Structure formats: C-alpha cells, structure tokens
Amino acid sequence: MAQVLDGKQIRDQIWQEWKPRTAALKRPAGLAVVLVGNNPASEIYVRNKVKACEELGILSEKLTPPDTISAQELLDIIDGLNHRSDIDGILVQMPLPKQIDSRAVLLAIRPDKDVDGFHPMNVGNLVANIPGPRPCTPAGIMELLRRCKIPVAGKQAVVVGRSDIVGKPMALMLLHEHATVTIAHSKTPNLQEECRRAEILVAAIGRPAFITKDFIRSGATVIDVGMNRLNTPEEQTRIFGDAKPRSVIGDVHPVQVAEVAGAYTPVPGGVGPLTIAMLMVNTIQSAEAHQR
C-alpha cells in the first residue's frame, strides 16, 4: 500500500523547531504581504499566510492596493517597505494586474527581504548552492523528502514543469542533493516514457489529473504540486468514478496514484502546508540576519 506523505504533519514539526528561534529574536520578525486587487485564490493564500504568522509570533502586515494601481505606485510601496526596519520579508502575491511588470516588481524587492527567493541574486545563490532564501515550494518538498527518509542521492528524478517558481528551482535542489534530474514539460517528446523512469516524480504542470498511472514507475515517490478546482459534476465523475469525489485535485490522478506509487503527497494537505512553512522559515532567518 502506498505511503501518504502528510504535509501538515511535517509543517507542524518545522513550526515546533522554529518557534524557539522566533521567541529568541530581539524584536518580532515582520512580514509584509502585498495583495493587489481581489483575486479569490490569492486572497485564500494570503489568509493562510497571515494565519501562519499569528501562530508563530511573526508580525504580519497586509497591504491591499486596488487592481487599478499603477506600476510606479506599486514600486513606491515596495520602496517604502524596503526602508522599514521592522519589516524583514516582503511578499508580493502573484498574479499581478496586466499593467504591472511582474519582473520589475520582483527586482525592486531588496534581496535580503525577498522571502520568496525569486530575486535574481537569490536565484544565483541557489544555482551556486550558496546559502540564502530558497523558493518556498521546492524547499518544502526537500524538507518532506528528508523528514520522510526518502533517499534522493543517486536517484532518477523527473520534474514535470519548468516554471521559475517551482520547476527550475526544484530541479536545482534535487541536483544539489545528488539526484540525476530531468526537466520535462508540455513540449517533451514521449513524456510518459520520461516520467516512468523517475524514482522521484514531481508534477508541477498545472493540469488536473494529467499524470495518470501510465506516467508512474511502480514504487516511485510522487510529489503533486498542482492545485486545480473541478467545476462540474461531470469532471468529478470522470476522475473519481464511483469513489467519493473532491472539488480540488492536483496534477496527479488522485485515485490511480495510490495504485502504483510507493509514496505520494495528497491534494490538499501535501505540498501546500509546506510552502507556507518555508515562507515562515525564510522570514525568521531574514529577521535573525537583520538583528545580528
């Protein structure tokens, strides 16, 4: 029977380890979250992040400019946060409105306050394996693998997806832990065949239940990064059949994965809690560095 990798349990372990470090700070760590407009999914993510801050004793400040804000006005907000000594981390929730250049916004955040790990300086540190804030989702996955005692060194790993947020940094982190890594994506020929080689398969392609059992090597560890909503009963019946349906699923088929994998992350309750946990870790580490 496949092992279910419980992200909530690992998150709780991480929080218990980091609470004493939060308490030891000279002043509370401070995280500013900028949420532009009223994207419902983004609002849920931000609410969960603010709740995590409360549980760990991190001061959080939520800024909610309208979606009509100009690029310069948003850059001015970030500049103000860059200069505040009580703010250790700045997070700008994506996606941003069309009139805003997301790349310019990420560049505007001070690298030492970039708790998402997206600034080019921090990306360079990741490539060179130099300490610094790491993108939260891949970092959480590495914690999951380590704490669940799933070997990485010498293993064949396939990452499906090439985003700057998950796919690329995930591949680098696995490589730094001595896995042999393939990055696959929508243009990869023989995608099923590539995935079936994987002893560790990370799915981050953004398509509900796309990774079926035909993509999964028997006994593989399958990490599902996707978060997709099923909007119709027909979609739910197609995927779950007679089983009890769910309205939110990942990129991996939620029924078939249990038939083939050796271990897998559920959706929800797998990778998601660890993404927020690592955001908290990055914020606390930033506060420690600022208070040295």
Alpha helix segments (H runs only) across 128-185 = 136-147, 167-176
Q: Is 6 marked active-site?
A: no
Catalytic residue among 49, 113, 155, 168: 49
Catalytic residue among 93, 113, 114, 155: 93
Helix, strand, coil percentages in the chain from 3-state DSSP, rounded to 5: 45, 15, 40
Q: Specify whether the CB–CB gap between 271 and 265 falls below 8 A.
A: yes
Closest CA to 279 of 7, 15, 6, 13: 15
Q: Specify whether the CB–CB gap between 170 and 141 falls below 8 A.
A: yes
**Dist CA 259 CA 221 (whole Å):** 12
Catalytic residue among 114, 116, 224, 251: 116
CA distances to 101, 191, 205 from 187, in Å: 26, 8, 12
CB burial of 129-146 (b: ≥16 within 10 Å; e: otherwise) equals eeebbbbbbbbbbbbbbe
Q: Is 49 marked active-site?
A: yes
Q: Is 116 marked active-site?
A: yes
**Which residue numbers are catalytic?**
49, 93, 116
